[in-house]
């Protein structure tokens, strides 16, 4: 991924944050190179292609959904 593409993605993320009203938003970044490596056909890791990051926007809605899910799990329901 080029620096221009990363910049575009971050700008899109910032616009998304601006669009979220009445909530606290955060951007999280998760490196994928070790947890989800890209491999060649022979199984060897392609270190260059494996270097990537997943950006996510977390809002209070995400937190509330997680709280509800925990509450359901603690009450013995699925």
pLDDT in tens, 42-70: 999 999 999 999 988 777 787 788 888 88
Q: Where residue 77 falls among pLDDT bands split at 50, 70, 90?
A: low
pLDDT digits (tens, 9 = 90+) for 28-44: 889 999 899 999 999 99
Instruction: State the virtual CA torsion across 13, 19, 24, 30 in degrees, nearest 10.
Output: -20
Contact (CB, 8 A) for 57 and 27:
yes
**Strand segments (E) across the chain:** 26-31, 53-58
The whole-model pTM stands at 0.41
Residue showing tokens 């190179």:
33
């Amino acid at each position: 991924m080029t620096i221009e593409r990363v910049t575009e993605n971050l700008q899109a993320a910032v616009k998304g944050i601006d669009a979220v009203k009445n909530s606290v938003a955060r951007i999280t970044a998760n490196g994928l190179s070790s947890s989800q490596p890209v491999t060649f056909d022979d199984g060897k890791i392609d270190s260059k292609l494996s270097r990537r990051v997943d950006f996510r926007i977390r809002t209070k809605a995400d937190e509330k959904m997680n709280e509800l899910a925990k509450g359901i799990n603690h009450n013995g329901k699925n």
